[in-house]
Structure 1
Amino acid sequence: MLEEDQQVRFTKLWTDAQPTVSRYVSSLVRDQWAVRDIVQNTSLVLLKKFPEYDESRPFLPWAIGLAKFEVLSHHRDTARNRLICDTEFVELYTQKWAEIAPQLGDEAAALRHCIDELNGRPRTIVSLRYVEGQTSNAIASELDLSAANVRTILKRTRETLRRCIRKQIELQGGTA
């Protein structure tokens, strides 16, 4: 049983890491119910093994490493499915994911900020295209524009978002 200060420390670390671990698992497992179970099992394993955690090292790579074993276990248990998952691939993928995960989180936060900065027609068109999944033709019809105009607005808005994301990451001290 963990002491109270260890429980608090684990809860803080897991709360920060859980969204990234969930995205990692989702990138390897298609079934979202299985993803939920794998992430939940990962959290239980992390909790049980927390006394072994070396606090001089980052928590996220450790959590992703343990999630990898849960993913491999899931693939082994569902081996009757046609999906074949190469263990060596998962190992390499896990290493790379742990390396880029902090950057992805920074970029996602920057994207959310930049989308919040959009106003008017560009924001409406981005929402219709990427949230609702509408085609350029459907958006054009809804907003009484030409499809070419919608595509041009999307292209310009994506470029604006790219510049905004770079700026946000630079402001946070990262590199874009």
Structure 2
Amino acid sequence: MTVVSEPRKPPAADASEPARESPAELALGLPPPVDLVRLVRERQAEVWRYLRYLGADPPEADDLTQETFLALARSNFVEQSDAQTSGYLRTVARRQLLMLRRTQKRRINTVDLDAADAVWGQAFDGANPWDDHVEAARGCVEKLDGRAKRAIDLAYRDSVGREAIAEQLNMKPDGVKTLLRRTRAKLRECIEKTLARTTSDPK
């Protein structure tokens, strides 16, 4: 669960201007095309950090971020809200990571991946500015110690499966499942409290 600096800039989209509805689309009442240039500009860092959070290393996050926006360009996605856009991009990015791990023949626990996404969504959806949330998440992870920190690092930074984590920590797989669940809850509570303090007492 590591947040690092900034992602590599993805290739510029072909279009140089925001997408506009064609007369035919307007006449038929079709939704406007996605403004890919704007979405890449506004969302690439979000997608990259999310992939890092799920355990992708920086080069993987670079490539998967590009694949995520390419998939978006080929889709019929229609923007409705910030939260909806963030959720859609997370879903696409998570699928890209899963496909990569299958290609690499590396096991990844989809239950833990979904749980990690839930924590991310609760902490970051609708967040503005981003820096406060990134700092809060980083600070809360740094407060972890012992088995809890080791388990989180193995699961979300190194993409290690539950059985392998259990072996490394000399635990049973069910014990690792319980440890991860409790640690995620602890992190969620810590992030929420940190952000509440930041909101109530801005510097």
TM normalised by structure 2 equals 0.46
Query: Which residue of 1 is the match for residue 63 of structure 2?
Result: 37
- Quote the residue 2:199 is aligned against: 169
Residue from 64, 78, 81 that aligns with 1:53: 78
Instruction: Look up the match of 1:72.
Output: 98
Match of 2:49 among 5, 23, 35: 23
Aligned position for 2:89? 63
Greater Cα radius of gyration, structure 1 or 2: 1
The 1-side partners of 2:97 and 2:53 are apart by: 10
Decide which structure has greater helix share: 1
C-alpha contact 1:13 1:59 (8 A) present in aligned 2: no
> Counterparts in 2 of 1:153-164, with a 5 A limit?
none
Percent identity reads 17
- Matched residues in 2 for 1:110 and 1:29: separation? 18
Who is 2:19 aligned against?
4
Q: 1:4 Cα deviation (Å)?
A: 2.5
Kindly indicate whether the alpha-carbon contact (under 8 Å) linking 1:107 and 1:169 is maintained by their aligned counterparts in 2: no
1:106–1:169 contact (8 Å) kept in structure 2:
no
Shift of 1:170: 4.3
Runs of 4 or more off by more than 6 Å in structure 1?
none
Flag the 1:35–1:167 CA change in 2: closer, same or farther, 3 A. same
Q: Which has the higher contact order (CA 8 A, sep 6+)?
A: 2
Gaps in structure 2 of 5+ consecutive residues = 1-14, 21-31, 136-194
What are structure 1's unaligned runs of at least 5 residues? 113-164
Q: Deviations over 1:8-57 (max 9, x none)?
A: 733323322221111110122343211111111001011111x3335256
The normalised TM-score by structure 1 is 0.52
Separation (CA, whole Å) in 2 of partners of 1:169 and 1:93: 24
Encode CA deviations 1:110-131: one digit per residue, 9 max, x unaligned.
889xxxxxxxxxxxxxxxxxxx
Q: Is the 8 A contact 2:48 2:61 kept in 1?
A: yes
